[in-house]
């Protein structure tokens, strides 16, 4: 079956049953596991492509649903909820939230980053202000504070011209990365000297599987996620336990529970 045929079958089944179907219910319409896995990876991914979500044990809750529930509780309580608050008043289990961040302490910053990534600052400004006040001093990016005095002259960004990073002395990349794709390219250019042998690059999480030499003649597999800033890992709601290493251009995630390789630092240490 094609992707469009799977989507049509799910929509037809939903209309017929009056609720989002379980996978066994969908299979009654001759939709195979192979068709779902080939086109979407998981049944949750197939439902997401249809704009649907099935709740309950064994089904992944979307990032947006988790954010809306948590942010709504912040607004209702007038404070960042404790884990007990969420267990009492939240719609979901704390399990998917803890799986993403490893500890409840990391959660508020992760939600802030998600709102920033999705452009939700204006809609949830009161909530984000409470989150900002809740975070420890120094954890909030200076860009979130009051604007600083502007210089006398500020170059104007040209709408029809691309943006480049700071000039580099690297023999492959002329300018510093400005996005995750630049980080991936630079890692590829440096992988050999950093001691990595790449097994595969993929669009699913984690981005990369590679081998690294942990001692002479001994190698291990390492699961790598690429980010422009290490803190973006929070905004993407990735489960920390399924990643061994974050490779980024700039490491700005305090108390990060995952090992981080900051490429900017590596370039400086090699004099590039």
What are the pLDDT digits (tens) for 71-90? 999 999 999 999 888 888 88
Residue 164 CB contacts under 8 Å (≥ 6 apart), including other chains: 175, 178
Residue 133 and residue 75 share a domain: yes
pLDDT of residue 153: 63
Bond before 206 cis per omega within 30 degrees = yes
Whether residue 145 is predicted with pLDDT greater than 80 in this model: the reply is no
Residue 195 to residue 148: CA distance in whole angstroms: 42
Reported for 53-58, long-range contacts at CB under 8 A and 24+ positions apart, including other chains, are 53/20, 54/20, 54/21, 54/22
pLDDT of residue 177: 92
Whether residue 187 is predicted with pLDDT greater than 90 in this model: the reply is yes
173 located within any domain: no
158 located within any domain: no
184 located within any domain: yes
Query: Which is it for strands 218-229 and 208-215: parallel, antiparallel or unpaired?
Result: antiparallel
Q: Which of 143, 99, 106 is nearest to 255 (CA)?
A: 106
Backbone angles phi, psi at 225, to 5 degrees: -115, 130
Supply the pTM of this predicted model: 0.53
Specify the number of domains making up the chain.
3
29 located within any domain: yes
pLDDT of residue 142: 47
145 located within any domain: no
Residue 43 and residue 72 share a domain: no
Residue 134 and residue 69 share a domain: yes
14 located within any domain: yes
Residue 247 and residue 214 share a domain: yes
Range of the domain at 243: 180-269
214 located within any domain: yes
SS (H, E, C) 111-167: HHHHHHHHCCCCCCHHHHHHHHHHCCCCCCCHHHCCCCCCCCCCCCCCCCCCCCCCE
Q: Which of 82, 70, 53, 62 is nearest to 124 (CA)?
A: 70
pLDDT of residue 138: 52
- What is the CA angle 249-226-191, rounded to 5? 75
154 located within any domain: no
Confidence of residue 144 (pLDDT cuts 50, 70, 90): very low
Whether residue 214 is predicted with pLDDT greater than 80 in this model: the reply is yes
């Amino acid at each position: 079956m094609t992707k469009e045929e799977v989507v049509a079958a799910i929509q037809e089944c939903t209309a017929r049953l009056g609720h989002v179907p379980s996978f066994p219910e969908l299979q009654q319409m001759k939709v195979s596991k192979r068709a779902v896995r080939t086109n979407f990876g998981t049944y949750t991914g197939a439902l997401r492509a249809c704009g649907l979500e099935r709740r309950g044990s064994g089904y992944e809750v979307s990032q947006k649903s988790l954010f809306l529930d948590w942010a709504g509780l912040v607004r209702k309580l007038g404070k960042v909820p404790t884990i007990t608050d969420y267990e009492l008043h939240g719609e979901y289990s704390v399990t998917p939230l803890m799986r993403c961040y490893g500890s409840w302490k990391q959660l508020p910053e992760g939600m802030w980053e998600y709102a920033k990534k999705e452009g939700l600052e204006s809609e949830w400004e009161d909530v984000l202000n409470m989150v900002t006040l809740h975070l420890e001093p120094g954890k909030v990016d200076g860009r979130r504070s009051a604007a600083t005095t502007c210089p006398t002259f500020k170059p104007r960004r040209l709408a029809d011209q691309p943006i480049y990073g700071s000039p580099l002395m690297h023999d492959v990349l002329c300018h510093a990365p400005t996005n995750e794709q630049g980080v991936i390219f630079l890692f590829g250019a440096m992988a050999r000297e950093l001691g990595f042998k790449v097994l595969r690059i993929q669009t699913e999480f984690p981005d990369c599987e590679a081998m690294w030499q942990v001692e002479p003649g001994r190698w291990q597999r390492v699961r790598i996620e690429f980010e422009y800033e290490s803190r973006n890992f929070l905004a993407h709601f990735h489960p920390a336990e399924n990643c061994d290493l974050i490779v980024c251009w700039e490491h700005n995630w305090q108390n990060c529970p995952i090992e981080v390789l900051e490429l900017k630092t590596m370039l400086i240490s090699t004099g590039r």
